[in-house]
């Protein structure tokens, strides 16, 4: 074993120990709790974030209707997304057909739009069952910008105009 390996390993071990001990001391000095944002990150899905604003009973009622939506629209949306991916990857094909590619993309977008329209219908129908204060809170949560996520529009679900 080379002579320099033992001191290097001891130095790396010491640095790691200082880091770990410093983390524990920092958490202890901060009151023993991690920040709320780190403990429970906001979902990037605005519907999931809005559902978290509801009471547990209301959350259960929303979730009870979602399996039928997922069974009906999940496979269609996955197929549409796959069609979009295949269309985009086909841009480099020597026999690239712009008309057929555009038709595939339009078909995929129509399926996605139909699923979004059904989700909108379910959101409105569900919101109509909520008390006014809960309905208002649910709507505000749905309208909130999405946190992070690397969207081109600054990470927002809807533009602030």
Over range 52-58, report the average pLDDT: 92
Which residue, among 160, 155, 161, has the nearest Cα to 46 in the 3D structure? 155
Q: Looking at domain 46-143, which CATH architecture does it have?
A: Up-down Bundle (1.20)
Tens of pLDDT, residues 91-127: 999 999 999 999 999 999 999 999 999 999 999 999 9
Q: Is the predicted pLDDT of residue 159 greater than 70, yes or no?
A: no
Residue ranges of the domains in the chain? 9-39, 46-143
Residues of the chain with pLDDT > 90, as a percent, come to 47
Report the 3 state secondary structure along 85-127: HHHHHHHHCCCCCHHHHHHHHHHHHHHHHHHHHHHHHHHHHHH
Q: From the CA atom positions of the chain, what is the Rg in Å?
A: 25
What is the Cα 151 distance to its own chain's centre? 11
**Higher model confidence: residue 102 or residue 144?**
102
Q: Which of 112, 120, 114, 137 is nearest to 51 (CA)?
A: 137
Helices vs strands, H then E, count in the chain: 6, 0
Tell me the pTM: 0.60
């Amino acid at each position: 074993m080379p002579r320099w390996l033992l001191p290097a390993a001891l130095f790396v071990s010491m640095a790691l120990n200082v880091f770990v001990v410093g983390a524990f001391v920092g958490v202890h000095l901060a009151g023993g709790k991690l920040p709320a944002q780190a403990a429970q990150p906001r979902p990037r899905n605005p519907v999931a974030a809005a559902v978290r604003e509801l009471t547990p009973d209301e959350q259960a009622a929303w979730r009870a209707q979602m399996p039928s939506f997922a069974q009906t629209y999940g496979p269609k949306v996955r197929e549409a997304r796959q069609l979009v991916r295949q269309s985009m990857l086909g841009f480099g094909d020597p026999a690239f057909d712009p008309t057929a590619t555009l038709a595939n993309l339009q078909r995929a977008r129509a399926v996605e739009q139909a699923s979004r329209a059904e989700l909108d219908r379910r959101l409105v129908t569900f919101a109509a069952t909520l008390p006014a204060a809960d309905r208002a809170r649910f709507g505000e949560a749905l309208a909130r910008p999405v946190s992070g996520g690397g969207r081109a529009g600054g990470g927002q679900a809807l533009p602030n105009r």
